């Protein structure tokens, strides 16, 4: 009533949502309109009221997680090698800690990211099964490490429902290069987060509002011949150190397990 919507406007709106649903873009739309980030802001506030502070910042899950990625302990290679010669080899490593700063052996680190074309396996049928998707169980010292390729950012489908709406709002639909994570451990709150790749032109202009202080680790370029040889490589590589800090589970704060439909390969 406030907007004095006409019948045609109502039905065109419904047709838009029907198309967005049929093309599986409602998750992208939720990110682009800031709804997913807004839910995170509310969760941050609820945790602060419950006295839960100091953990790694959360940020959006996005719509491209796939359950069931292969598991390994301590280390995993995420890429299938098809883009190794075209992209920059990346090693990322760190420790999962509890709220008291103690390492968490047996924690689960699920990681997933896009390839050099900005596409994700499962949704991009040209990629191998679970390419750039792995589950790493931390070792006895709470450590994880993986080898992959430096991801690229991506944009919304140019003719899709999300980008058409963004065009009307005068906004772009680009994301900076990033790597997604779920981090879980018994007795601790699930962390949903991602790190952004420093230096990306969209680092602080993410259409999905997911960039946060504390989630932009330094990218170290390793050119030392001995270090390159130690990794079994013939060219320089990138290295990122990043630790995760989990808060203990608390009945005073809402659950961090989000019930939503997710793909499963």
Strands (DSSP E) contained in the chain are 66-67, 71-73, 75-77, 89-97, 108-113, 133-137, 143-149, 178-184, 191-196, 220-222, 237-241, 244-245, 263-264
CA distance 76 to 80: 11
Question: What residues are paired with 124 via a beta bridge?
Answer: 121
Q: Directed axis angle between helix 161-168 and helix 7-22, to 10°? A: 130
Domain ranges of the chain: 7-249
CB 39 within 8 A of CB 85: no
Contact 58, 44 (CB under 8 A): yes
The class that CATH gives domain 7-249 is mainly beta
Percent composition of the chain: helix, strand, coil (DSSP 3-state, to 5): 20, 25, 55
Q: Tens-of-pLDDT digits for all 265 residues of the chain?
A: 999 999 999 999 999 999 999 999 999 999 999 999 999 999 999 999 999 999 999 999 999 999 999 999 999 999 999 999 999 999 999 999 999 999 999 999 999 999 999 999 999 999 999 999 999 999 999 999 999 999 999 999 999 999 999 999 999 999 999 999 999 999 999 999 999 999 999 999 999 999 999 999 999 999 999 999 999 999 999 999 999 999 999 999 999 999 999 998 7
């Amino acid at each position: 009533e406030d907007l004095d919507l006409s019948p045609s406007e109502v039905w065109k709106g419904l047709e838009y949502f029907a198309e967005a649903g049929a093309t599986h873009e409602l998750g992208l739309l939720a990110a682009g309109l800031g709804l997913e980030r807004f839910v995170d802001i509310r969760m941050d506030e609820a945790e602060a009221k419950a006295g839960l502070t100091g953990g790694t910042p959360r940020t959006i899950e996005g719509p491209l997680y796939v359950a069931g990625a292969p598991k390994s302990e301590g280390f995993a290679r995420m890429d299938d090698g098809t883009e190794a010669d075209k992209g920059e080899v990346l090693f990322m490593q760190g420790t999962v800690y509890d709220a008291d700063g103690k390492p968490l052996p047996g924690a689960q680190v699920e990681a997933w990211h896009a390839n050099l074309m900005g596409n994700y396996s499962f949704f991009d049928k040209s990629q191998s099964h679970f390419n750039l998707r792995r589950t790493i169980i931390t070792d006895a010292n709470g450590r994880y490490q993986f080898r992959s390729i430096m991801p690229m950012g991506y944009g919304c489908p140019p003719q899709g429902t999300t980008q058409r709406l963004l065009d009307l709002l005068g906004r772009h639909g680009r994301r900076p290069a990033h790597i997604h994570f779920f981090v879980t451990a018994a007795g601790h709150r699930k962390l949903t987060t991602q790190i952004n790749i420093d230096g990306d032109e969209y680092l602080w202009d993410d259409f999905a509002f997911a960039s946060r202080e504390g989630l932009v680790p330094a990218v170290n370029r390793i050119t030392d011949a001995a270090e390159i040889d130690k990794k079994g490589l013939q060219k320089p590589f990138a290295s990122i150190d990043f630790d995760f800090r989990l808060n203990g589970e608390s009945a005073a704060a809402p659950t961090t397990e989000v019930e939503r439909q997710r793909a499963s390969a």
